[in-house]
Chains A and B, each alone.
Chain A
Amino acid sequence: MKSISDAAIAAMTDGNAISSAAIVINCSPPVAVWGGYGQLVLDGITFDGIGDRGLVQLMGASLGDSEQNVGLQLSGVEPDIVALFDATQVRGAPVKIWLLIFDGSGQIPLDAQVYTAGRLDTLQVVETVGGTSTICASVETQARGLGRSGQRMRTDADQRLIDAADSGFRVVSFAGNKTLYWGGYKPTSVATLGWSPLPTAN
């Protein structure tokens, strides 16, 4: 639960808030940028202003639905961001995104909230001839990582990979499978229910 400051709520109610975002990608060296102009210091990190308005594409998500990645759309020719191309260990680098709310004049910061934190998944460079050059960075959140299953099953062969002398699974012929939904409701759709509410045509 985020507690947004009263001033920011008031500005949003009046409809005169200016929103922006700040992003730090902890590769080596770290890349810290925000959507305004000039430098911004937040949580002890100095962010370089890149004046980019479409910094964060917030992906839609609904309660109980599977976790979505967050897409970052960055300029492919901005000097502060092009460092990403050279940075080592970019893949899997921790990423933190703040949502910033300013007053209508853009001068008074009203609130800064961590929107999401995760790890950098894919970096896609999209270049349109005669158009724009952008880096689309996909940020995978922790919840998505939790939803990924491993390859090993509860079988005798796989158990012996862990301990060759362990024969605890030798009489198990079927590996049970149970899906757990962490932090949400079980998604319900025709596909997951396994039956169709509509009569078939034939």
Chain B
Amino acid sequence: MTLITPLSMPSGAKDQVFEIQRVDYLAPEARGRIGGVTAGFPLWKMTCTLGTLTVAQSDQWRAFVSAQRGAQRLFMAFDIGRKMPRNYQAGFPSGFSGQASGWSQSIDGNNFAILTLTGLPAGLSLVTGDYVQFSWGTFQRALVRLVESATVDGTGKLSATIEPAVPALVPPSALASLAQPCCLMKLTSDTKLGPVGRRGAIESGTIDAIQDLRP
């Protein structure tokens, strides 16, 4: 059997930070106003802490980190609390794969990005914190998070505010999906695996990764 790249993250992490990273240049003023600009565009950043693992999980993580070859390879990173939308952790209504038939994005007057998905089953209810994945090409991925709850209307359409906005490089032909949403990341040099204890499993470790967004 050969491994298929990009690999997916193993399970068993103790905790995870999966948030949007922005680089801001702030200019606070004495009168209380905070000016500033954001340098560049936002990316997803992930930090997982490894705690007590089973021997099998420990082996999986060690194999995963070594197969990544430092920052050479991409892997599929996801929010371990939201592999599926919150209301559908056990699976979607029968006959729905999680994939929307179309998508579009508009920017409203407050600079919020509004994502519209079509071709979803009527009544499907997504909540704040659910993710939408965009996939195109061989394995390219982009990921956005809903920042408000929304329900699919009778025509199969859903509109919700997302963060970050769908990057401009995502082609209109990309497929939008709600099932197992993930993005491509690379490990950073902050990734460290701890020592293996008497149980035969690593006892600590940090997996640190940043999104690698590429066309």
Mark A residues whose CB is within 8 Å of B: 12-13, 15-20, 35-39, 49, 51-54, 101, 103-108, 130-131
Q: Which residues of A contact B189 (CB under 8 A)?
A: 130-131
Mark B residues whose CB is within 8 Å of A: 23, 34-43, 105, 107, 111-113, 164-165, 167-169, 189, 213-215
Give the docked Cα–Cα distance between A54 and B40 (Å): 8
Give the docked Cα–Cα distance between A193 and B149 (Å): 68
Task: Give the contacting residue for B41; candidates A17, A37, A130; CB below 8 A.
Answer: A37
A12 and B41 contact, Cβ closer than 8 Å, known pairs A107-B113, A131-B189 = no
* A130 nearest CB neighbor, chain B only: B189
Give the docked Cα–Cα distance between A107 and B34 (Å): 23
Q: Known pairs A38-B215, A39-B215, A104-B38. 13 more at Cβ < 8 A?
A: A16-B38, A19-B37, A19-B38, A19-B40, A36-B40, A36-B168, A37-B169, A37-B215, A38-B169, A49-B169, A54-B39, A105-B164, A107-B165
Q: 6 tightest A-B contacts by CB?
A: A38-B169, A53-B40, A104-B111, A105-B165, A37-B169, A18-B38
Minimum CB–CB distance for A167 against chain B, Å: 62
A18 and B168 contact, Cβ closer than 8 Å, known pairs A49-B215, A103-B111, A107-B107 = no
A18 and B37 contact, Cβ closer than 8 Å, known pairs A38-B215, A49-B215, A131-B189 = yes
Contact A19 B39 (CB under 8 A): yes
Main secondary structure of the interface of B (DSSP, over half): loop
Minimum CB–CB distance for B107 against chain A, Å: 5
Q: Which residues of A contact B168 (CB under 8 A)?
A: 36-38, 106-107
Q: Which residues of B contact A17 (CB under 8 A)?
A: 37-38
* A49 nearest CB neighbor, chain B only: B169
A52 and B40 contact, Cβ closer than 8 Å, known pairs A15-B35, A106-B164, A107-B105 = yes
Q: Which residues of A contact B164 (CB under 8 A)?
A: 105-106
Q: Which residues of B contact A107 (CB under 8 A)?
A: 105, 107, 113, 165, 168
A selection of 5 A-B contacts at a CB cut-off of 8 Å is A38-B169, A51-B41, A51-B43, A101-B37, A130-B189
* A51 nearest CB neighbor, chain B only: B213
Give the docked Cα–Cα distance between A130 and B37 (Å): 31
* B110 nearest CB neighbor, chain A only: A104
Minimum CB–CB distance for A1 against chain B, Å: 21
Contact B111 A20 (CB under 8 A): no
Minimum CB–CB distance for A131 against chain B, Å: 7
Give the docked Cα–Cα distance between A130 and B189 (Å): 8
Contact B35 A105 (CB under 8 A): no
Minimum CB–CB distance for B59 against chain A, Å: 26
Minimum CB–CB distance for A48 against chain B, Å: 9
* B162 nearest CB neighbor, chain A only: A105
Task: Give the contacting residue for A51; candidates B40, B112, B165; CB below 8 A.
Answer: B40
Minimum CB–CB distance for B188 against chain A, Å: 11
Task: Give the contacting residue for B34; candidates A15, A19, A101, A105; CB below 8 A.
Answer: A15
